[in-house]
């Protein structure tokens, strides 16, 4: 079946006024390549399932259906080689709340929460919001052009103090798009065991590995002896473009940890939206051919982006191994202290500001849009970043 990833969908002024953060935050003159939200319609099977549920007409409190839990068990077994149980699943309306509640559940005041930077910005708020001590370790910058960002295991070990209790981990990594190498994960796992840490493994982008034949292996599956220390976070939201339906799942093999997590969440969170449950199940059951088609499109877009970046003096990018986010180093692009601001003003393109990820001078670019929209934005950037800047022509 052919899926349409080419026709732009109107999200700025759609009929019915379905406002989107991505297209509205910066106004009509700006092309948005920022928040992690794609401009593609979700898989037809998801849309059909939602339409059917809408027709039911009663939208009272829902319940996580056993069939959804089974669908996720099947998806995990088939795609990750990890046999999980339905009762390990705690569905909730988002991954970010899960980060906060997991931190509350697993640590005490006076404990420290460690993460690596750059990182998806909400990670940086978790420790403080929970009243814990924040600890951050920077990843190792690429050793040369096209080289990947690497985990700095020595720095990570050096940062661990007797207070460190929890590691906030992201794989694949937002924003660098890294799929961690075996040796990085083994070194990480050894530290987790040695220092008796809990881990929240945010694997939200794990169904978007771009390299042909690449297969996600959840941290808890790769290191079964550590599984009782790990809360794994998944959601269909990035892969199938369902973020607005608010459904995510914490996978917690250990019954006692599950109870602690459930107690921390109790009373603070609404139930998962009934449509979110329907969308998630349809996506996991019937979304695979759409996902494969999406991956081909994203690979093409990654190649398009790489061709542009190669034209831009002073701009470095290590091509993402996963997801539709690219992490660009603009420190030598001559754009001043805030390349994000400069590109918004001079190119009319909104990217995500690296400063929010703990790395000023960088930007994150979302290439999960149609080829037409992506190229329009890249040409705008080219006018500022390209070999013959023409910013006054904009
Ligand atoms: C790594 C990561 N975690 C969490 C989220 C947000 O998830 P949610 O919308 O379910 O809170 C995102 C969104 O971009 C993300 O990239």
pLDDT digits (tens, 9 = 90+) for 202-237: 999 999 999 999 999 999 999 999 999 999 999 999
pLDDT computed for residue 261 by the predictor: 98
**pLDDT at residue 17, as a whole number:** 73
Q: 113 CB under 6 A from ligand 1?
A: no
Which runs of consecutive H residues, i.e. helices, occur in 312-370? 339-347
The pLDDT-based confidence of 14 (bands split at 50, 70, 90) is: confident
**Element containing residue 222 per DSSP (H, E):** helix 219-222
pLDDT at 16 over 80: no
- Atom nearest to 97 CA in ligand 1: 11
Ligand 1: centre distance to CA 245 (Å): 13
- Of the chain, the percentage scoring pLDDT greater than 90 comes to 94
Indicate whether residue 248 lines ligand 1 (CB < 6 A). yes
Q: Give CA–CA dist 176/117, Å, rounded.
A: 10
**pLDDT confidence band for 392 (50 / 70 / 90):** very low
DSSP for residue 357: G
Cα 49 to ligand 1 centre (Å): 24
Average pLDDT of the chain is 96
Q: Please state, in angstroms and rounded to a whole number, the distance separating the CA atoms of residues 331 and 339.
A: 8
Burial of 59 (0-12, 13-18, 19+ CB in 10 A): exposed
The Å distance, Cα 69 to ligand 1 centre, comes to 21
> Which long-range contacts does 337-345 make (Cβ < 8 Å, 24+ apart)?
337/361, 339/363, 342/384, 343/381, 343/384, 343/385, 344/26, 344/30
pLDDT number for residue 159: 98
Please, are residues 146 and 8 in contact by the beta-carbon 8 Å criterion? Answer: no
For residue 302, what are its two tokens?
């990654």
* Residue 105 Cβ < 6 Å to ligand 1: no
Strand order in the sheet with 352-353: 316-317, 325-329, 362-366, 352-353
Q: Tokens for 331, please give them.
A: 């420190």
CA distance linking residue 178 with residue 221, whole number of Å: 19
Q: In this structure, what DSSP letter does residue 139 have?
A: P
Give distance in angstroms: CA of 237 to centre of ligand 1: 8
3-state secondary structure of 136: strand
Task: Name the residue at shortest CA distance from atom 13 of ligand 1.
Answer: 36
What mean pLDDT do residues 350-370 have?
A: 98
Find, among 165, 203, 166, 194, the residue nearest to 84 by Cα: 203
Please identify, in words, the CATH class of the domain defined by 60-286: alpha beta
Most ligand 1 atoms within 8 A of CB, residue of 122, 207, 265 to mutate:
122
CA-based nearest residue to 59, from 70, 50, 68, 67: 50
Architecture of the domain defined by 21-43+288-386: Alpha-Beta Complex (3.90)
Cα of 161 vs its chain's centroid, Å: 28
Q: Is the CB of 351 under 6 A from ligand 1?
A: no
Alpha-carbon distance of 60 to 274, in angstroms, equals 8
pLDDT value at 393 more than 60: no
Question: What are the pLDDT digits (tens) for 138-179?
Answer: 999 999 988 999 999 999 999 999 999 999 999 999 999 999
Residue ranges of the chain that CATH labels 3.40.640.10: 60-286
Distance 367 CA to ligand 1 centre (A): 16
38, 116, 238, 269: residue to mutate for ligand 1 pocket, most atoms within 8 A of CB: 238
pLDDT of residue 391: 45
pLDDT given at position 250: 98
Point out the ligand 1 atom lying closest to the alpha carbon of residue 325.
16
- Report, as an integer, the average pLDDT of 253-273: 95
Q: Does residue 389 carry a pLDDT above 70?
A: no
Specify the higher pLDDT residue, 389 or 123.
123
Q: Start-end ranges of CATH 3.90.1150.10 in the chain?
A: 21-43+288-386
Q: Kindly give the distance from the C-alpha atom of residue 121 to the centroid of ligand 1, in angstroms, as a whole number.
A: 10
CA distance 266 to 98: 12
At 221 the three-state DSSP class reads: helix
237 C-beta closer than 6 A to ligand 1 = yes
Ligand 1 within 6 A of 366 CB?
A: no
118 Cα: distance to centroid of ligand 1 (angstroms)? 15
Tokens of 64: 């996580």
Indicate whether 394 pLDDT > 50.
no
Give the pLDDT of residue 15: 79
In angstroms, what is the span from residue 248 Cα to ligand 1's centroid? Answer: 9
Does the pLDDT value for residue 55 go beyond 60?
A: yes
Q: pTM of the predicted model, to two decimals?
A: 0.96
Instruction: Give me the percent of the chain exceeding a pLDDT of 70.
Output: 98
The whole-number average pLDDT for the span 344-357 is: 98
Mutate-to-test residue for ligand 1 from 34, 37, 91, 95, highest number of ligand atoms within 8 A of CB: 95
Residue 206 Cα, ligand 1 centroid: separation in angstroms? 12
CA distance 249 to 333: 40
Give the Å distance between the CA of 137 and the centre of ligand 1.
20
- Report pLDDT digits (tens) over 176-197: 999 999 999 999 999 999 999 9
């Amino acid at each position: 079946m052919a899926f349409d990833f080419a026709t732009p969908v109107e999200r700025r002024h759609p009929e019915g006024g379905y406002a989107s953060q991505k297209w509205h935050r910066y106004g009509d003159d700006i092309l948005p390549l920022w928040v992690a939200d794609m401009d593609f319609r979700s898989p037809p099977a998801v849309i059909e399932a939602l339409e059917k549920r809408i027709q039911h007409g009663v939208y009272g409190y829902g319940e996580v259906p056993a069939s959804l839990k089974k669908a996720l068990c099947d998806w995990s077994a088939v795609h990750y080689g990890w046999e999980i149980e339905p009762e390990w699943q705690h569905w909730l309306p988002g991954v970010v709340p899960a980060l906060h509640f997991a931190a509350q559940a697993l640590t005490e005041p006076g404990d420290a929460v460690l993460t690596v930077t750059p990182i998806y910005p909400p990670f940086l708020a978790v420790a403080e919001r929970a009243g814990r001590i924040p600890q951050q370790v920077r990843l190792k910058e690429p050793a040369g052009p096209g080289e990947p960002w690497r985990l700095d295991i020595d720095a990570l070990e050096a940062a661990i103090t007797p207070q460190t209790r929890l590691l906030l981990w992201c794989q694949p990594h937002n924003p660098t798009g890294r799929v961690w190498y075996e040796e990085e994960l083994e070194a990480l796992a050894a530290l987790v065991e040695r220092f008796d840490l809990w881990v929240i493994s945010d694997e939200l982008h794990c169904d978007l590995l771009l390299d042909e034949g690449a297969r996600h292996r959840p941290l808890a599956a790769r290191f079964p002896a550590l599984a009782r220390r790990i809360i794994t976070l998944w959601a269909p939201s990035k892969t199938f473009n369902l973020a607005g339906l608010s459904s995510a799942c914490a996978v917690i093999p250990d019954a006692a940890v599950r109870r602690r997590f459930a107690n921390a969440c109790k009373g603070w969170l609404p139930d998962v939206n009934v449509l979110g449950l329907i969308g998630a199940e349809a996506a996991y059951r019937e979304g695979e051919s759409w996902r494969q088609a999406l991956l081909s499109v994203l690979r093409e877009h990654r190649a398009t982006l790489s061709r542009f970046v190669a034209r831009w003096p002073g701009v470095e990018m290590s091509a993402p191994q996963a997801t539709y986010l690219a992490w660009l180093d603009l420190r030598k692009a001559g754009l001043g202290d805030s390349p994000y601001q400069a590109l918004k003003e001079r190119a009319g393109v909104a990217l995500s500001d690296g400063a929010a990820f703990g790395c000023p001078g960088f930007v994150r670019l979302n290439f999960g849009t149609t080829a037409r929209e992506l190229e329009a934005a890249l040409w705008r950037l080219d006018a500022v970043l390209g070999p013959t800047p023409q910013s006054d022509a904009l």
